[in-house]
Chain A
Amino acid sequence: MIQVNQLSKKYNETTVLNINNLEIPKGQSFGLVGNNGAGKTTFFSLLLDLIQPSTGYITSNNIQVNTNENWKSFTGSFLDESFLIGYLTPEEYFYFIGDLRHQNKADVDALLAQHEEFFNGEILKNKKYLRDLSKGNQKKVGIIATLIGNPEVIILDEPFANLDPTTVSRLKKIIKELAENPNVTVLVSSHDLQHTVEVCDRIVALNKGEVVKDIQTSKETLQELESFFSV
Chain B
Amino acid sequence: MIKKFIYLEWKAFTRSASFGANLAMKILIGFLMVYFSLIFIAMGVGAFYVLKKMNLEPLITVNKFLIYYFLSDLVVRLLMQAIPVLNIKPLLVLPFKKPTIVHFSLGKTAISFFNWTHALFFVPFSIVLIIEGYDVVGILFWLIAAFSIVYINNFLNIILNNIDKLFVIFLGIALALGAAQYYKLFDITTFTGPVFQGFYETKGLFLIPILVLIGLYAFTFKYFKNNLFLDAGLSKKEDIATTENLTWLNQFGTLGTFLKNDIKLIKRNKRSKTTIFMSILFLFYGLIFFGNKDQPEIMHIFAGIFVSGGFLFVFGQFVPSWDSSYYQLMMTQNIPYRGYITSKWWLIVIATFISTILASFYLFYGIEIYLTIVAGAIYNIGVNSHLVLLGGAFTKTPIDLSNASGAFGDKKAFNISSMLLTLPKLLLPLLLYWIGLHFGNKTLGLTLVGGAGVLGFVFRNTVFSIIEKRYKIEKYSTISAYKQKN
Contact = CB atoms under 8 A, between A and B. Distances in A.
Contact of A82 (B260, B329, B334): B329
Contact of B241 (A72, A84, A97, A128): A128
A75 to B, nearest CB: 7
A199 B332 CA distance: 25
A79 interface: yes
| Contact-residue bracket for chain B | 20 to 34
A83 B335 contact: no
Nearest to B265: A87
Contacts of B238: 128-129, 132
User: By CB atoms of chain B within 10 A, which of A77, A131, A132 has the most?
Assistant: A131
Given A51-B476, A96-B260, A100-B257, A85 B335 contact: no
Among B261, B325, B326, B331, residue most surrounded by chain A Cβ atoms (within 10 Å): B326
Interface in B247-265: 254, 257, 260-261, 264-265
Nearest to A52: B476
A48 interface: yes
B479 interface: yes
A118 to B, nearest CB: 20
A85 B326 contact: yes
A91 interface: yes
A129 B328 contact: no
A72 B401 contact: no
A96 B483 CA distance: 23
Interface size range of chain A in the complex: 20 to 34
Nearest to A51: B476
Nearest to A129: B241
A137 to B, nearest CB: 13
Contacts of A132: 236, 238-239, 241
Contacts of A127: 240-242
B344 to A, nearest CB: 16
Given A51-B476, A92-B264, A132-B236, A87 B257 contact: no
B479 A91 contact: no
A192 interface: no
A89 interface: yes
The DSSP consensus for interface residues of chain B is helix
B245 interface: yes
B325 A86 contact: yes
Contacts of B261: 85, 88, 96
A75 B332 contact: yes
A100 B334 contact: yes
Nearest to B246: A92
B294 interface: no
Interface in B91-142: none
B171 to A, nearest CB: 25
A92 B243 contact: yes
A134 B284 CA distance: 43
B190 interface: no
Contact of A100 (B264, B333, B402): B333
A85 B402 CA distance: 13
A87 B333 contact: no
Contacts of B476: 50-52
Nearest to B238: A132
A87 B262 CA distance: 11
A41 to B, nearest CB: 11
Contacts of A79: 328
B469 to A, nearest CB: 13
A16 to B, nearest CB: 14
A198 interface: no
A50 B332 contact: yes
Contacts of B333: 72, 97, 100-101
Contacts of B242: 89, 127
Contacts of A100: 254, 257, 333-335
Contacts of B480: 51
Contact of A96 (B240, B241, B257, B328): B257
A17 to B, nearest CB: 16
B334 A129 contact: no
B332 A85 contact: no
Nearest to B247: A105
A211 B254 CA distance: 41
Given A50-B479, A72-B334, A132-B236, A85 B329 contact: yes
Nearest to A86: B325
A72 B337 CA distance: 13
Contacts of B254: 99-100
Nearest to A99: B257
A73 interface: yes
Interface in A101-133: 101, 126-129, 131-132
B251 to A, nearest CB: 13
10 contacts: A50-B332, A73-B334, A75-B332, A82-B328, A84-B326, A85-B325, A91-B243, A100-B254, A127-B241, A129-B239
Given A72-B335, A85-B326, 17 more contacts: A50-B328, A51-B476, A72-B332, A82-B325, A85-B325, A85-B329, A87-B264, A87-B265, A88-B261, A89-B243, A96-B261, A99-B254, A101-B333, A127-B242, A128-B238, A129-B241, A131-B402
Interface of A: 48-52, 72-73, 75, 77, 79, 82-89, 91-92, 95-97, 99-101, 126-129, 131-132
The 7 closest A-B pairs by CB, nearest first: A99-B257, A87-B268, A83-B329, A72-B334, A132-B238, A73-B334, A89-B241
